[in-house]
Amino acid sequence: MGNTINSSSLPYRSQTRQSQEMMIRNANFEWQYIDIYLDLSECGLGISIRGGIDSPNHAGFQDVYISRILGAGAVARDGRIQLGDVIAKVNGESLENVTHKEAVNIILNAGQYIHFHIKRRKFIDSSDIYEQIEEANEDDALLIGSDRQTNFEEILFDRQRIGKGYNDCIKVEMIRDINGFGFSLIGGLDNPTREGDPGIYVNNIVPDGPVHRTGQINIGDEIVAINDTNIECVPYKWALDVIRNSPTLSVFTIRKTINWD
């Protein structure tokens, strides 16, 4: 118990929402292009990205997408970039046909002033309203269903300026008792604790319950995965269902929070 791991070891959700992926793939949409200029002199970007030619999802998309927006970063403050937006270019440099790591390096090396050329799907037919609702976070939803590992996600923000960062993750093994695991949660895509942060967090720990007895999980820690199921960027109810359906002996992957403000 308590082995420290890197994000490359995190499991990704193996059971997919393939019907939703097919809907998005076949949806009637056109691309909308947006140019956004940001000054990073006061804070970091505050985003996570996914995608790249080495990490396609089940729908076959290889574009580099915005997968998370952190509330205190420059992207969130500007307010124009959305979850699921495709980053086509950074300071004129194309992110098409690049690996995930190459995309990360391009963004990190962009300097204080950064110009994003963004692509966003705009649905043409009003009958596609279901797909449009899903599209707001669809790229996360598609990637939740990917068989690949989460080493293709990098958090791109200045930890000191934003005031919240993360240590490496740990894996904690515990046995469910008759009352469950002994904790409660907040967060999720449908009920984020902070703008642009869909993580699932521990908000209460029952004294002498399984979680409490491990001595390794604290209020404010993020639950990233349970056994082989990743619960990053999922609705709250999905996360609850994963926990409720977990076997008696379960391994929780926990991202330890450095500062919880």
pLDDT value, residue 62? 82
CATH 2.30.42.10 in the chain: give the residue spans: 18-159, 164-257
Residues of the chain with pLDDT under 70: 1-29, 56-60, 71-72, 123-168, 194-196, 233, 257-261
How far apart, in whole angstroms, are the C-alpha atoms of residue 234 and residue 19? 16
The predicted structure's pLDDT at residue 153: 37
Report the candidate in 93, 62, 25, 68 with the shortest Cα–Cα distance to residue 162. Answer: 68
Nearest-angstrom CA–CA distance, 233 and 69: 11
pLDDT of residue 57: 58
The pLDDT assigned to 98 comes to 93
* pLDDT value at residue 90: 95
DSSP 8-state assignment for residue 207: T
Residue with tokens 């490496």: 168
Q: Give the global pTM.
A: 0.45
Q: Domain 164-257 has what CATH class?
A: mainly beta
Summarize pLDDT for 96-105 with one digit per residue, the tens: 999 988 998 8
Distance between CA 83 and CA 49 in Å, rounded?
Answer: 9
User: Do the beta carbons of residue 78 and residue 38 sit within 8 Å?
Assistant: yes
Compute the radius of gyration of the chain from its Cα atoms.
18
Q: How far apart are CA 146 and CA 57, in angstroms?
A: 5
What pLDDT, on a 0 to 100 scale, did the predictor assign at position 124? 54
Q: What is the pLDDT of residue 55?
A: 76
Alpha-carbon distance 12 to 177, whole Å?
26
Provide the 10 A C-beta neighbour count for residue 128. Answer: 18
- As to burial, measured by CB atoms within 10 angstroms (0-12 exposed, 13-18 middle, 19+ buried), residue 95 is buried
Note the pLDDT tens digit of each residue in 100-151: 889 988 988 888 889 999 998 776 554 433 333 333 333 332 222 222 233 3
Report pLDDT for 260: 39
CATH C-level class of 18-159? mainly beta
